[in-house]
Amino acid sequence: MQYRKLGATDIDVPLIGLGTMTWGEQNNLQQACEQMDYAVSRGVNFFDAAEMYPVPPKAETAGDTERCIGEWLSQSGKRSEITLATKVAGRADTRPDWKHIRGGPRLNRDHIRQAIEGSLERLQTDYLDLYQVHWPERATNFFGMRGYVHYPQADGIAIEETLDALSELVDEGLVKHVGLSNETPWGVMEYLRLASERGLAKVVSIQNVYNLLSRQFETGLAEMAIREDVGLLAYSPMAFGVLSGKYLNGQMPAGSRLELFERFARYGSPQSEAATIAYKAIADKYDMTLAQMSLAFVCQQPFVTSCLIGATTMDQLRENIDAVEVQLSKDQLSEIEAVHNQYPDPAP
């Protein structure tokens, strides 16, 4: 396993990190523990969760992912060996089905305090290595939104209050470092500006979507990640499994995420399928699986700190972790760029 620094910290995180959002829904506790055992045996000691997991979010399962991790940490005694990250849910007042999270999650001081206390209890630990804001409080572009409309009346809790609250957690030792997720360039810079001017906790990472079908991070945020040392924790590197090729030609494997949950349609456009077919042709040409080529591409980007995989089977987990050993050549990368130029960011 290869490792990279988590921002400007002294923490080394594996180039392949373990996403966990299926645990408690598509995977039970026993399967989650099996995944964690295997991941650690391969050097994958970075686990990323969220208070609202598993997905899709619902009251009856909320927090179960963190509970799975907490049980494994308690049974294994390996807390000190793990870089543990989770997230606090942001504003969701347009989603009445999320009222089970603190009556409707916000990013003010009281909500953040409630959220961290709940996560620590479920995770059976007294500190987090990384605590992330899951999505912005304000109305802006995230979760696949295209086209920007400015709604200043919907800004909600100020970033300053959110960062103040997060900094208190760092000062108290409940959290070592703070990060962002689903943020924009302006949002990252505002967090950095406030940290610099007021001596608050500096964000060390940003967790945004990044894969062969969605490379918008490269515009604006990639330069910021490098120059400001706020590395990308790339989520959805397999585009909901689309970049395995298993959904091509109308296939819908039983028990797969897209078969179970219609809401995951982000990568279902004809352009995405055409691009996936073209990428698969490259992988086939060089005797790679499409999954491993897709993950290797993400891992080779200089602005990526860790590529967060999420597997539901052990075979998927093994194949995904093996991708760290794949090194794409200049010719292979050139062929990938040719497809990208033909189908630029077919998914949001």
12-14 vs 3-5, strand pairing mode:
antiparallel
Q: Could you count the other beta carbons within 10 Å of the beta carbon of residue 105?
A: 26
Here the tokens at position 292 are 């491993």
| Cβ pair 326, 291 in contact under 8 A | no
Angle made by CA atoms 76, 78, 79, in degrees to the nearest 5 = 120
In the block, residue with structure tokens 């505002």: 190
Q: Which residues contact 5 (CB under 8 A, 6 or more apart)?
A: 11, 12, 13, 231, 305
CA 31 vs CA 25, 27, 84, 89, 146: distances in Å: 11, 6, 19, 25, 36
How far apart CA 180 and CA 205 sit, in angstroms, is 6
Q: 18: which strand partners?
A: 47, 309
Catalytic residue, chosen from 53, 210, 247, 267, is 53
Q: What share of the chain is helix, strand, coil (3-state, %, to 5)?
A: 45, 15, 40
| Cβ pair 98, 53 in contact under 8 A | no
In terms of Cβ atoms closer than 10 Å to its own Cβ (0-12, 13-18, 19+), residue 263 is exposed
Is 53 among the residues known to form the active site?
Answer: yes
Q: Is 202 helix (H, G, I), strand (E, B) or coil?
A: coil
How far apart CA 138 and CA 187 sit, in angstroms, is 10
* Of residues 165, 241, 262, 72, the one with CA closest to residue 64: 72
DSSP 138: S
Which of the residues are catalytic? 53
